[in-house]
Amino acid sequence: MRKAIFIPIFVLSVVVAWFIWVNAPEFFKQSGPLLVVGLTCLFLVFIFSVERFIVLWRAGGRGSVAAFVRKLKGSLEAGRVEEAVEYCKRQGGSLANVIGAGLTRYHAVAGVAEDPAAALGETRRALHEANSLESPLLERNLTALSTLASIATLIGLLGTVVGMIRAFLGMAHAGAPDATQLARGISEALVSTALGLTTAIIGTVLYNYFTTRVDGFNTQTAETAYEVLQLLENRKGA
């Protein structure tokens, strides 16, 4: 997410969290301003997750990836490189962008390169460069999501500790111990813990899900690139 977009979203998340805290029941207000920080983390986790869902959905392209790979292989086996490049342009997405970059380079140098190995080397280099550009786009904001999950837990624990300190201080000033008042103070403090743990659980689950999806994209890209290079090599050797 670009900085120009992130800053307004962050400010809006803080404002919404503060508004919820101010208008929340008294029981939740007693958790203190740290509840605003916890809610902000929760909102950011949802925002980053929605952004990643959209990006990874678009990374698959416009149609079935499996059908695209079958058409791509069929065109290359028949020696129709231009048709394969056109398939990549129509499909779009991370896989098609990487393979399309390699095939475009191959088509440009295959006719002028005296050594077939040189054309394949240029194609391999183009595939590697395109993958180096696509992979960071898929992984963007995953570190932020993981960090938010970790921070949310610590903020929840901090809110609990602060709340319990406040509860015991109130007991000390009141004089005689009041078990009911102490229990109420502790339960109010645990609201921050519940919010922090909820945010951490959601963030961790989504981070692992997105990481698995990205690893799957990278693996599929590497396998398809290898198969494309093999088909081009066999075509040259034919």
Instruction: Check: CB of residue 39 under 8 Å from CB of residue 192.
Output: no
* Confidence band, pLDDT 50/70/90 cuts, at residue 159: confident
Question: In the chain, what are the domain boundaries?
Answer: 3-59+142-214, 65-138+220-237
With 60 as the cut, is the pLDDT of residue 236 above it?
no
Reply yes or no on whether the pLDDT at 176 is more than 70: no
The pLDDT-based confidence of 131 (bands split at 50, 70, 90) is very high
Is residue 23 very low, low, confident or very high in pLDDT (cuts 50, 70, 90)?
confident
- Percentage of residues in the chain having pLDDT higher than 70: 88
The mean per-residue pLDDT over the stretch 62-80 comes to 89
Indicate whether 161 pLDDT > 80. yes
Whether the per-residue pLDDT at 132 is higher than 80: the answer is: yes
pLDDT at 171 over 80: no
Q: What mean pLDDT is predicted for residues 20-30?
A: 78
Q: Which of 137, 148, 136, 134 is nearest to 47 (CA)?
A: 148
Mean pLDDT for 91-99 is 92
pLDDT tens per residue, range 40-62: 999 999 999 999 999 999 888 88
Q: Is the pLDDT of residue 237 over 60?
A: no
pTM above 0.85, yes or no: no
Give 120's pLDDT tier (boundaries 50, 70, 90).
confident
Which has more pLDDT, 148 or 190? Answer: 148
The pLDDT value recorded for residue 175 is 61
Look at 29 and 108; give whichever has higher pLDDT: 108
pLDDT at 238: 43
Find out whether 131 and 221 touch, Cβ atoms under 8 Å: yes
